[in-house]
Amino acid sequence: MRIAGIIPARLGTGKEPLQNVRKLGGMPLLNYTIRTMNKVRAIDEIAVFASSPSICEYIVPGLKYKYIERPSYLDSTDANIQDIVKDFLKQDDADIIVLWHITSPFLKPETIAECIEKVKSGEYDSAFTALEIRKFCWFEDKPLNYSLDKRTPRTQDIEPVIVEQAHLYVFRREVFEKAGQRISDKPYIKIVDHLEGHDIYTPLDFAIAELIVNTGFFELD
C-alpha cells in the first residue's frame, strides 16, 4: 500500500502575491509543511504539486520531496480542490493520499501519522483535522447548539460544534474516485487545538503566526 503526501503550491495571485513562499520566522512558508511531512515515516513520497518548478527555489536544501507539475489553469481562483486532486491522481498511483495545505503550518507529525494509521488500518476510509468549538453558535439566524426556549447551559456543558480545520485530509484513492470528495461516510475526525490548527488566510492570521513562532510556542528545528 503506497502512501503519497501532496502539497498543492503556487507562487500566488494578484491578490495574494507569493503567499505560499512568504517568510515565516525567516523561512518560506511552504517549508513548514514539507519539513513536517519529512518526519512522518508512513509517507512514501512527498509531492509538491505546482505549475512551475520555480517554486522549488524557495525550498530549503536537504528536504525530501518530488516536484510534480500541474496545469497552470489550476492556479486560477476558479479551480477547486477537487480539480487539483483529480489531476494529481492522473499522475500518481498512490493508494492513500495525504493532502495538506501550506497555510496551516503548525500541524504536528504525530497528528498526521495518527490520521494515516486510522485510514490505513481500514477502520476509517478518510480522516481530517477539526476544531472543537464549545461556545454558543448560530447558523442561519438560529441557535445551533443550544435553545432560546431552555435554560442557558454552562459553556463547559454545551454541545460542541465541530469545524473542519480544512487543511489536512487523508483518504483512500477509491473514496475520491467514487464520490469526488476527500471525505466519505466513515471519516476519522482528529480534534486539534487552536494553536496546532491555526490557519493563515489574512494579514492578521500571518501576524499571529509570526507571534507563535517568535515567542517559541512553535519551534523551528
Say if CB 158 and CB 135 are below 8 A apart.
yes
C-alpha closest to that of 172 among 94, 92, 56, 110: 94
Is residue 168 within 8 A of residue 104, CB to CB? The reply is yes
pLDDT at 11: 79
Pairing label, strands 126-133, 187-191:
parallel
Global pTM value: 0.92
pLDDT for the residue 14: 44
Question: Between vectors from CA 199 to CA 197 and to CA 200, what angle results, nearest 5°?
Answer: 155
What is the mean pLDDT, run by run of 10 residues, along the chain of 221 residues?
Answer: 95 63 94 97 97 95 96 90 95 96 95 98 96 94 93 90 95 94 94 95 93 86 64
Report the C-alpha gap between 158 and 161 in whole angstroms. Answer: 9
Alpha helices by DSSP H, listed for 137-202, are 173-179
Q: Tally Cβ neighbours within 10 Å of residue 63.
A: 14
Three-state SS for 57? helix
Instruction: Break the chain into its structural domains and give their ranges.
Output: 3-129+164-192
* Phi–psi pair at 188, nearest 5 degrees: -95, 125
What is residue 10's predicted lDDT score, i.e. its pLDDT? 86
CA atoms within 13 A on the CB side of 66: 13
> What DSSP state is assigned to residue 12?
B
pLDDT of residue 220: 63
CA–CA dist 208, 147 (Å, integer): 34
66 by DSSP, 3-state: which?
strand
Q: What is the pLDDT of residue 217?
A: 85
Report the pLDDT value the prediction gives residue 109, as an integer from 0 to 100.
96
pLDDT of residue 16: 53
Query: Tell me: domain 3-129+164-192, CATH 3.20.20.60, correct?
Result: no
Contact yes or no for 114/176 (Cβ under 8 A): no
